[in-house]
Structure 1
Amino acid sequence: MKHKTSSCTAILVGKKASIDGSTMIARDEDGYSGINPKKFVVNPAKDYTGETFVSKYSGVKIPLTGKGCRFTATPNGLKDEGRWDEQGINEYNVAMSATETELTNPRMLGHDPLVEDGINEDAMVYLVLPFIKTAREGVARLGQLIEKYGTGESNGIAFSDHDEVWYLETVGGHHWAAQRIPDDAYAICPNITCIEEIDFNDQANFMYASDLKSFAEKYHLNPNPDHFNFRKIFGTQDEADAYYNTPRAWYGQKLFTPSVTQEPTSQDIPFIQKPERQISPEDIQFFLASHYNGTVYDPFNTSASGNEKEQKMFRSIALDRNQSSCILQIRNDVPAEYAAIQWVKFGFYAYSAAVPFFTNIEDTPENYKIAGKDVSTASAYWLNKALAVLVEPKYHQFIYQINGFRDDCQSYAIQRVEYITKAAKGLTGEKLTRFLTDENNKTAAEITKRTKALMSDLVKQSLLSSNYQFERGDNL
């Protein structure tokens, strides 16, 4: 079976690096084509005892046991290839985002080949998120599954809870390592192996496959034995990385740590970086919807000094394969019962509005549960994908209106989060869950309404500004 890979971009933020003390992990899910319908759903708690998970994608079969908790997810709208839950938050306020597609170098793959029927992106969230109560538990559970069943892909997976943020990377068929992101730092992950130096004596901040170090020694994989640089031992550092991957890390660090001078094609851009200002959800939204804005590399030509060659030089974050973008935010300044928010955005990220969903809920809005083969504005996914079709041909005509729309929706979303947080005080149990569910529906309905109004206006403008008009006398 030929695996289909997605080329995503992720950012992880520690609680002291964020503007309000939240932990945040976020990722753009960019599919293997321009069309990959997505939904946003809630999976109820249940007893998994006796269930055998069978992947429609890889064929792996994994017996499950025990009670699993409720969790949100953004699965595929079409079930032909399986679940692909991708990212969500469970009832213990543990967040998981899976996966960031990465690459392992040929030498490592020669000694530990990928496993054709292993655990892959389609299955990871379902096999892990319902069964964990901390981010650290998530790392341990996924790591154990990979060592036992193997994986057919090289991936990066993010975990967080209210206290810790972790990033796990798989290399080869059975090996992995994970690093805790320092509280005062952030990390950007652009489809390359990211983790650098591993300290095997620091169990508080590193976890790894049981034989990772001995395996590297046995097969002479480490080119610098005085260090254990995970990226350089197991990852790739080729020309494609320099133009497809590292520029995205360069741009993110340019935004949040502007005093650091780096080249977009550098193979040594650090994984862990300290921000020069605290990072907000709005900052993450901007980064994950960016296209080298304001630089000569912007494919939309927002810099007067850029030429066509420069504008096509690097892979942009915003591109036509954008499907679903989520910020998984666990707040620390409110009660745990309503601390978790999943910001969801469908479609082309540079045009769409992000919707904040509290995750202690029993259901999601109807239009977020619909994502079929056919285009329909009854689906939140298709509504936002259609928006991109209107905007792209007339980008420079519409972009200021689009930016205004996104800003207005962002302000509205912030107001809603504040209102719902205050109104939730004193509510508990089923009353709280029902309240948060109802309020999520109202938030989504308003942003859907605004998106449809925007599209209606853009259609009218397009009809009135067509290049294919002709009046009597135009040829005189």
Structure 2
Amino acid sequence: MLKKCIALFLLMCASLFVLQPTVLACTGFIIGKDLTEDGSWLYGRTEDLEPNHNKTFVVYPRTDNPEGATWKDEANGFEYPLPATSHKYTAVPDVTPEQGVYDEAGFNEHGLSISATVSATANDKILALDPYVENGLAESSMASVVLQNAKTAREGVELLAKIVTEKGSAEGNIVLLADKEGIWYMEILSGHQYVAIKFPSDKFAVFPNTFYLGHVDFSDTENVIASAGVMDLAKEAGTYQEVDGAFHIAQSYNPPLSDGNRSRSYSGIKALDPDADITYEDEYYELLHSSDKKYSLADAMALQRNHFEGLDLKPLDQMELDGKGKPDGKKAVDGYAYPISNQNVMEAHIFHLKDSLPKEVGGGVMWLAMGSPRNAPYLPYYGNITDTYKAYQDKSTEYSPDSWYWVISHINDMAAQYPDEFGTEVIDEVKALEAEWMTQQEALDKEMISLVASDPEKASELATQESMKRAEETFARLKEIEGSMEERVAALPTDSADTETTTSSTNNLLMLGIGALIGLGIVGLAIFYKKSKAES
């Protein structure tokens, strides 16, 4: 994902100092309902940008808008008319709207859910003919515009298609939209080209920051929505590629596969299917994968926490501990690579969509891990909640003891910095809590189904009360864990810290020192921004 230029400049400068590289990356996944233990759809994403980047979780109420009102993206100037009434929706926004709202993920009141986005970029030859539009639709606006306007997943795809056609896209993006009819997977390829498919129920996919669509039947308008010139643009650019005798979208539009995308594609596919017929050296990875296995919500959580378990790869953040030097971005070296789970993950979400749950509650549950899920718990939220716990709404841009994100960030920092002291004790407790909540959720689902049918307003009140209670209890426990860890760290010898990560306070101090690099930073920014668009 791409933030405003100042943020990119700061991140570029900071990366010269800190032990952990700053990278721009997200990883999405879908598991079709024919492949799950309970017949549900599972989909979601890790939002991966940098450490120490606060996120919030909020509910926007249904809003009547004055005639002529518009949505405006402060990040790039994109504008779009607001509807007469904006739908109520849940979201996970940034705390700096002047740099872009980035609502990212949520349900609206009509049972539409969205995860937006996994950033990607087309190759230079494509972009020479159809460049991204500076004030076009960007990730920073996408979830907000769709959830306020659309009622179904197809309607959301059609809205995005209309906007990209008329106003252009500011970036390449992969976006997921879902409702009671299933999941749509959409790639916005270049300034005005896009392809969306209704995801097959018997496949799974794992997709970091590159395009994956291969063969698509453009004549199947029930399951495919595409711009008119996708194939012609590739031919005109001289990048048109066929695989097995048919036009292949990703091979025609992508730049070469980067190390960071390779490692996350390979490890993610292997995490779900260790028997998958792929190798780490493959030139590219297809979007759709079959499996004889049946997957659970816990498997989806494990995927987003994947750290190369069972593979002959080590996370880049292990290099320093092994005396191999400092990692360089997402570049793989000597068996070290960039994993799905890393300290740059600011939040992770999983939508668990069930046929039995009515659209009034979202048709399912969003399990949200605020902060990196390496030690952060996933809590379940229906789409019909009317408010969120106060710790989710703290907008501090530096450590705050009242912020869910910052408390988790601090816990993650200490667990990573002192692995010999803390081991896996935090994540072990977190997983035990999640197992309890999954069992509780089954009972609550039955109650919610019955209550929605008789009194939707009471169902909303119950969903809100239950989620508030769980969040309050969980945050209190997280604060206890944080305090205990602080006491244990204070009692350790001063040389006992590992160099796997820097703490929030250390990162903040380092950031204060980058002013001296402003002269060099102007040149570096241009290089970094171009690289970010190529790899994120």
Same fold by TM-score, threshold 0.5 exceeded? Answer: yes
Partner of 1:443: 470
Say if 2:262 is the partner of 1:246. yes
User: Which of 396, 421, 425 does residue 372 from structure 1 map onto?
Assistant: 396
Q: Measure the CA separation in 1 of the matches of 2:242 and 2:410.
A: 50
SS in structure 1 at match of 2:33: coil
2:51 to 9, 16, 34: 34
Q: Does 1:207 align with 2:225?
A: yes
Deviation at 1:467, TM superposition (A): 4.5
| Aligned-partner residue type, residue 235 of structure 1 | N
Aligned residue in 1 for 2:479: 452
Match of 2:161 among 140, 143, 149: 143
Distance 1:377 1:437, change over 3 A: same
Residue 474 of structure 1 is matched in structure 2 by none
Q: Does 1:297 align with 2:313?
A: yes
Give the secondary structure class of the aligned counterpart of 2:482: helix
Stretches of structure 2 that go unaligned for 5 or more consecutive residues are: 9-22, 325-331, 497-536
Q: 1:289 touches 1:350 (CA, 8 Å); kept in 2?
A: yes
Q: Closer, same or farther in 2 for the Cα pair 1:468/1:61, shift >3 Å?
A: closer
Query: 1:23, 1:163 within 8 Å by CA — same for their partners in 2?
Result: no
Deviation at 1:368, TM superposition (A): 0.9
- Give the Cα separation in 1 of the matches to 2:60 and 2:228: 32
Gaps of 5+ in 1: 470-476
Counterpart Cα distance in 2 of 1:50 and 1:181: 36
Within 2, Cα distance between the matches of 1:366 and 1:359?
18
The CA distance in 2 between the partners of 1:300 and 1:82, in whole Å, is 29
Tell me if structure 1 keeps the 8 A contact 2:241–2:247: no
- Does the C-alpha gap of structure 1 residues 222 and 157 become closer, same or farther in structure 2, counting only changes over 3 Å? same
Q: Secondary structure at the match of 1:116?
A: coil
Please list, as runs of the form range in 1=range in 2, the aligned pairs for 1:243-322 lying within 5 A after superposition: 243-299=259-315, 313-322=336-345
The change in CA–CA distance for 1:462 and 1:430 in structure 2 (over 3 A counts) is same
Question: Which runs of structure 2 are paired with 1:332-343 in the superposition (5 Å)?
Answer: 332-338=355-361, 339-343=363-367
Q: Secondary structure at the match of 1:62?
A: strand
- Equivalent of 1:349, from 348, 373, 394? 373
Give the distance between the partners of 1:460 and 1:311, measured in 2 at CA. Answer: 37
Structure number with higher helix proportion: 2
**2:458 counterpart (412, 419, 431):** 431
Q: 1:227 aligns with which of 220, 235, 246?
A: 246
Q: Which residue of 1 aligns with 2:203?
A: 185
Contact 1:38 1:324 in 2 (8 A): yes
Q: Partners in 1 of 2:420 and 2:45 — Cα distance?
A: 27
Question: Any conservation in 2 of the 1:166–1:179 contact (CA below 8 Å)?
Answer: yes
Aligned equivalents of 1:205, 1:131: Cα separation in 2: 21
What's the CA shift string for 1:445-474, capped at 9, x where partnerless?
2221222222222223323332459xxxxx
Name 2:137's counterpart in structure 1. 119
Other structure's SS at 1:57 match: coil
The answer (yes or no) to whether the contact 1:296–1:311 under 8 Å persists in 2 is no
Offset at 1:24?
2.2
CA distance in 2 between counterparts of 1:336 and 1:166 reads 17
Deviation string 1:97-148 (CA, Å, 9 cap, x unpaired) is 1110112101100110111111101001111122222212111111111111
Match of 2:20 in 1: none
For these two proteins, the number of residue pairs brought into alignment is 463
Distance 1:443 1:416 in 2: 11
Matched with 1:236 is 255
Deviates more, 1:126-135 or 1:168-177: 126-135
Residue 323 of structure 1 aligns to a residue whose secondary structure is: strand
Query: Please, what TM-score do these two structures have when normalized by structure 1?
Result: 0.91
Mean alpha-carbon deviation: is it higher for 454-463 or for 159-168? 454-463
User: Which residue is 2:76 aligned to?
Assistant: 58
SS of equivalent to 1:117: coil
Which residue does 2:147 correspond to in 1?
Answer: 129
Name the counterpart of 2:527.
Answer: none
- Counterparts of 1:419 and 1:380 in 2: how far apart (Å)? 27
- Higher RCO structure (Cα 8 Å, ≥6 apart): 2
Cα RMSD (Å):
2.4
Deviates more, 1:416-425 or 1:72-81: 416-425
1:68 Cα deviation after fit:
2.8
* One-letter code aligned to 2:433: C
Correspondence for 1:72 among 61, 68, 90? 90
Q: What secondary structure sits across from 1:125 in the alignment?
A: helix
SS in 1 for 2:336: coil
Shift of 1:218: 4.2
SS state at 1:328 partner: strand
Q: Give 1:420's aligned amino acid.
A: L
Output the CA distance in 1 between the equivalents of 2:402 and 2:443.
Answer: 27
